[in-house]
Structure 1
């Protein structure tokens, strides 16, 4: 069987390289490198506004990663923005929601990373905590700048996430928001301060989200799990 094709959603931002400074579709290389290292073929998915585009894309994929990035538009879960909520991208929100609609319709394996987990929760009808430090009184989940916070996470025994990463692990986090409610998903990992760090859909389908960044760590068990699920999905088409 050929290696499974894994779609990775991207940023659309002002960027600079060489002599150029202009809007670009981009994603940290670690995502694609981690997919390749675990046996998948990565393909980048920039925001597309064309009707039906998500269905066309998902029909060609074997797995999907909803990547990290800016805050989700609070209007999508019916709330006013917190003073620290900023930078949301309506085009990306809409594109990723459409991809999730198409993925749900076909049973495509999905992994949400950081913002991706939040997008999945909001897509399911849930809501977010807009500024975690208001709840936990520390900045360890997102120390600031381009630094990751080191967070100890405990998983729920018997869950898919626990089977992929173990009962306890130290993870790299960079999020000032978190999932408050998550209809249709089980809470399967928490930080010591109670912050929800992972959720998964019940049943056989690989459909889960984590607040941490597995693409940055030597242990890419979550991405390896996605690639295995994507290979099985491709074989059953």
Structure 2
């Protein structure tokens, strides 16, 4: 049996009307990024409903990663799955990383309001803040989102912002939970700094 950490990863929901199917999907690059952390990926189905608790108990992931894709409200089953994952992580003391929509879900779960943002889809921009100056957060990132946070959620601290002031990274003050608004898996070469930070957060190394 492998002793590598097992990270539960939420999946996007793709509607395929021509086949009357709702498909769970996960970018293969994100699986590769998790492998680069030294962990194994455990994609979480969105159709488990009340069976999710038993599924988590049986497979016992060691961390949770909320992936990108879908705006909150686009897929009620995904929204429910991710809310349940966060509740499980809080009870079990598991670390969590939210990427793009995943960071928005962390904020939403904490009661924060999401607002539309312009100029953040399909582009790159610099980051600013003490975490950037210290080298803990990249100085420039990709950007693929149309929604941002109106304010920092209760219980969280801001790590970095975009030049327009929108929050790009945050950490929970008490839990090992963190959110990044960019996609580290979409870089041509995975950033060593991001891998090291995620490894420390999710694996504790």
Q: Which residue of 1 aligns with 2:70?
A: 70
Which of 192, 195, 218 is the matching residue for 2:163? Answer: 192
Contact persistence 1:173–1:212 (CA under 8 A): yes
Q: How far is 1:179 from its partner?
A: 1.2
Distance 1:8 1:162 in 2: 30
CA distance 1:127–1:223, change in 2 (3 Å): farther
Task: Give the CA deviation at 1:23.
Answer: 3.1
Per-residue deviation, residues 181-227 of structure 1 (Å, max 9, x unmatched): 31111111101111110110114x42100111111122054344334
Q: 1:150 to 1:185 in 2, by over 3 A?
A: same
Residue 36 of structure 1: how far off its partner (Å): 0.5
- Residue 13 of structure 1: how far off its partner (Å): 1.3
Q: 1:168 to 1:39 in 2, by over 3 A?
A: closer
Contact 1:10 1:44 in 2 (8 A): yes
User: Under a length normalisation based on structure 2, what TM-score does the superposition of the two structures give?
Assistant: 0.85
Structure 1 match to 2:83? 97
Output one character per residue of 1:49-97: Cα deviation in whole Å (capped at 9) or x when no partner.
4325246416701111101111112xxxxxxxxxxxxxx1111111100
Name the TM-score, length of structure 1 as normaliser: 0.75
Cα distance change of structure 1 residues 98 and 27 upon mapping to structure 2, 3 Å threshold: same
Within 5 Å, give how 1:54-69 maps onto structure 2.
54=53, 56-57=55-56, 60-69=60-69
Distance 2:36 2:130 in 1: 27
Q: Distance in 1 between matches of 2:54 and 2:95?
A: 15
1:209 match: 179
**Structure 1 unaligned runs (5+)?**
74-87, 134-138, 143-147
Q: Quote the residue 2:144 is aligned against.
A: 174
| Aligned length, in residue pairs | 199
Give 1:225's aligned residue: 197
Where does residue 116 of structure 1 map in the other structure?
102
User: Structure 1's 167 and 38: CA in aligned 2 closer, same or farther, altered over 3 A?
Assistant: closer
Aligned CA RMSD, in angstroms, stands at 2.6
Aligned to 1:132: 117
Find 2:154's aligned residue among 155, 165, 183.
183
Distance 1:63 1:224 in 2: 16
Unaligned 5+ segments in structure 2 are none
**CA 1:168 to 1:226, structure 2 compared with 1: closer, same or farther past 3 Å?**
closer
